[in-house]
Structure 1
Amino acid sequence: MNWDEFSHWGQQISNWAADYHKTLADRPVRAQTAPGEIASQLEIAPPESGEPMEAIMADFERIVMPGITHWQHPRFFAYFPANAAPPSMLAEMLVTTIAAQCMLWQTAPAATEVESVMVDWLRQALGLPDGMTGVIQDSASSATLSAVLTIRERATGYTGNRQGLNTKGALRIYCSDQVHSSIDRACWVAGIGQDNLIKLPTQGPTYAIDVVALEAAIRDDIEVGHVPAGIIAITGGTGVGACDDLEVVADIAQKYDLYTHLDAAWAGSAMICPEFREALWGGADRYDSIVFNPHKWMGAQFDCAIQFLHDAGPQLNTLKIEPEYLKTTGAEVTNYSEWTIPLGRRFRALKIWFLLRSYGVDGLRTRIRNHVVWANEVAEKIGAMEGFEITTGPILSLFSFRCPGDDAMQQRLVDALNDDGRIYLTQGMFDGRKIIRFQVGQFDTTRDDVLMAADVIREVWETLK
């Protein structure tokens, strides 16, 4: 392909993208293909000769598109969103075109310096204090692993990387039973071990960690010779939106000198709205590490996670490695590859810059506030349906419900709804029962899209009764 052809097909694909988004509402939300159906249409061996783009694009439409679940669909109510506002997509086109590897300041000075400023813009938007710094990670999972590794190294006097963990004792990390599975995986990868991730019960209207049980677990571990190392708190847990009492957890961490990480991957975006901070964000400023994903609720193209750090020193002491070929001479600069696990880095800050300049913080606040209001409205409609139960009320824009019947019936309804295609929901477990999760957060959804979901649920349920 020469650059004239590239220009032609770039325009063609840009037009295709606009048409795709304009017609998304007419497509089934979840892919309706069977396992193996896509792979069976691909050639077994790679082509020996090149083919024209006309043929490639035709096969893209014929083979690939039927197997796509449409995350940008206005009636995507499953998982959490992975949004892609148009300005962030345009920024990603530029990033792909430039194709810079932004591991060091000298390999992409603009990427490094825009990243520093964008992290600070978002710090201000979330009401976090001056002096907090941060870095853009690919996802919350990577930020959490970085934090868990830092917890490990701090607890071992920064000797674990060199000496291993064989003689360090049982390093203990504490959290609630509502944390995301990425916490478990981080403890696996970091060598902490599943048995040393102490999950404690939750209580109250926000399903917060039982702080009495938390402190008791820490004291018990000290008594038997284990090594309390850190606490991971949550604001807006994946299952039902659980939110810990951040102030009290921070008090306990301070009392026992434990490193703290706050997982606010989804709900952190809502903290650009000051009215949500008092109940769900008080004490966040005291945490050593905080992660939130602008690619979830804020509209940034996936992938884009911000990890704020009260003091970058512990994480740099954990992750920084500087062979001769990566050293930077001259004036002191920031090399963000020293703050993260991967050496290679993309220019993720550009889409944040485009996004915030296009909508402004207030424009993004309006969307989030609408989603919260609409989630409460649709929860009320579902709760009024005969035999239906709201199992966990809305926390921000997430709630869960059950239809009449046992756990198997909950799954039958979820599967029937997703096969119907008009909306997309997922199941979960809470308090020993299967539930159906509902979250509102797709960037361009409307009130009509959200309230329509209750009508679809009622119609599909009638076919199962």
Structure 2
Amino acid sequence: YASQEAHSSVEKAGIVLGVGQEGLCKIGVDSSFRMDVAQLEQAIEQDLADGWQPFAVVATVGTTSTTSIDPVAQIAEICERYGLWLHVDGAYGGSAAVDPTMRWVLDGCERADTLIVNPHKWLFTPIDCSVFYTRKPDVVKAAFSLIPEYLRNTESADDAVPNLMDYGTSLGRRFRSLKLWMVMRYFGQEGLAARIHEHIRLGQLVAQWVSESPNFELMAPTLFSTVCFRAHSKGLDDEALLEALNERIMNNINAAGRFFLSHTKLHGIFTIRIAVGNLRTTEQDVRDLWGSIQAELARIHEAQ
């Protein structure tokens, strides 16, 4: 079970597990794009009645499209009640917890069985680098450990030195943790927190500009440094024309080469995304971007 806003990797996990995409039950979301816990419990009850065996729920801290945060504590209660494994995908949003003012984003995650955070998304670490936490390493090891004779050694025989091949599908691994260690040593906790805090401030600033403009509208709450919005000029209400307009704005901004905008669709509506995550991004950068977006909208209207 995962929300409709969960990352596509959850579906891929279903394929790898052998349950397929049809084995993933997508749960609806509320007005803030968070998993609807009532709908989750209803789906579990219905599957049990139909003879299916529920086994896991994936909650997300910082969904890809809107960076929404699922109500992890409430989901944990349901998982505990039905004996389900709770995995938390904190790939993006989990990094925010390095800032003490943002520790709340991981509320409830202490009850999860597994949690991942991707420092390469928002902790200034080169791709790829994912951090995996679990409260049940013995269960993970029991699921993945396979030791043929030619891999046996005295060093890891007594678990004094954990062998990471026993905790996942990979056998050989490169030294991914070194680059994260270097980032942490260089910036320190306070340095990382300050940069995350500044990115969030810049995201809030952009969201404020969007809200105050009569020609744009916010499409989702801005919890972190990602802003979901679209151009919506007064008197233009045809959804096909609005989608074409916003896609044109995005493509033209990207083609200019200075900034890069991404997009998603929320409730079927084309939505532009600004994501602040680079170490060198300044307030002047986002001011220039916002000015370019406004100018592009004006240019398109003048040309029509």
Question: When the two structures are superposed, what TM-score results if normalisation uses the length of structure 2?
Answer: 0.92
| Conserved 8 A contact 2:100-2:193 | no
* CA distance in structure 1 between the partners assigned to 2:230 and 2:31 by the alignment: 20
* CA distance in structure 2 between the partners assigned to 1:406 and 1:204 by the alignment: 21
Q: Summarize deviations over 1:333-377 as a string: whole Å, max 9, x none.
A: 211122121112011121122211111111000000000011111
The alpha-carbon deviation at position 204 of structure 1 amounts to 4.3
SS at match of 2:221: strand
Mapping for residues 274-293 of structure 1, pairs under 5 Å: 274-278=100-104, 280-293=105-118
1:260 aligns with 2:96: no
> Which residue, out of 294, 303, 308, partners 2:128?
303
Q: Summarize deviations over 1:385-442 as a string: whole Å, max 9, x none.
A: 3321111131111121111342122211111111111210011010121100111111
1:452 aligns with 2:279: no
| Conserved 8 A contact 2:115-2:132 | yes
1:433 aligns with 2:269: yes
> Aligned in 2, Cα 1:229/1:357: closer, same or farther, shift over 3 Å?
same
Mapping for residues 53-202 of structure 1, pairs under 5 Å: 174-202=1-29
Residue 422 of structure 1: aligned partner: 258
> Which residue, out of 206, 214, 232, partners 1:378?
206
* CA distance in structure 1 between the partners assigned to 2:26 and 2:290 by the alignment: 35
| Conserved 8 A contact 1:246-1:284 | yes
* CA distance in structure 2 between the partners assigned to 1:353 and 1:175 by the alignment: 32
Residue 154 of structure 2: aligned partner: 329
The alpha-carbon deviation at position 273 of structure 1 amounts to 1.6
SS at match of 2:220: strand
Give aligned-pair identity as a percent: 32
> Which residue, out of 228, 233, 240, partners 1:400?
228
The alpha-carbon deviation at position 247 of structure 1 amounts to 0.6
| Conserved 8 A contact 2:206-2:227 | no
Residue 65 of structure 2: aligned partner: 239
SS at match of 1:438: strand
The alpha-carbon deviation at position 384 of structure 1 amounts to 2.9
SS at match of 1:437: strand
Q: Summarize deviations over 1:18-43 as a string: whole Å, max 9, x none.
A: xxxxxxxxxxxxxxxxxxxxxxxxxx
Q: Summarize deviations over 1:308-357 as a string: whole Å, max 9, x none.
A: 01111121111111111111115632111221211120111211222111
Residue 409 of structure 1: aligned partner: 245
* CA distance in structure 1 between the partners assigned to 2:73 and 2:272 by the alignment: 31
- Structure 2: gaps (5+ residues): 233-240
> Which residue, out of 49, 54, 60, partners 1:223?
49
* CA distance in structure 2 between the partners assigned to 1:302 and 1:442 by the alignment: 13
| Conserved 8 A contact 1:374-1:451 | no
SS at match of 2:80: helix
* CA distance in structure 1 between the partners assigned to 2:81 and 2:224 by the alignment: 31
| Conserved 8 A contact 1:372-1:397 | yes
| Conserved 8 A contact 2:59-2:72 | yes
Residue 271 of structure 1: aligned partner: 97
SS at match of 1:228: coil
* CA distance in structure 2 between the partners assigned to 1:381 and 1:330 by the alignment: 59
Letter in 2 for 1:387: N
| Conserved 8 A contact 1:315-1:339 | yes
| Conserved 8 A contact 1:377-1:451 | no
| Conserved 8 A contact 1:400-1:435 | yes
The structure that has the greater radius of gyration is 1
CA RMSD in angstroms comes to 1.3
Q: How many positions carry a matched residue from both structures? A: 290
Of structures 1 and 2, the one with the larger relative CO (CA 8 A, separation 6+) is: 1
Residue 43 of structure 1: aligned partner: none
| Conserved 8 A contact 2:6-2:63 | yes
SS at match of 1:353: helix
The alpha-carbon deviation at position 257 of structure 1 amounts to 0.3
SS at match of 1:393: coil
Residue 238 of structure 2: aligned partner: none
Question: When the two structures are superposed, what TM-score results if normalisation uses the length of structure 1?
Answer: 0.61
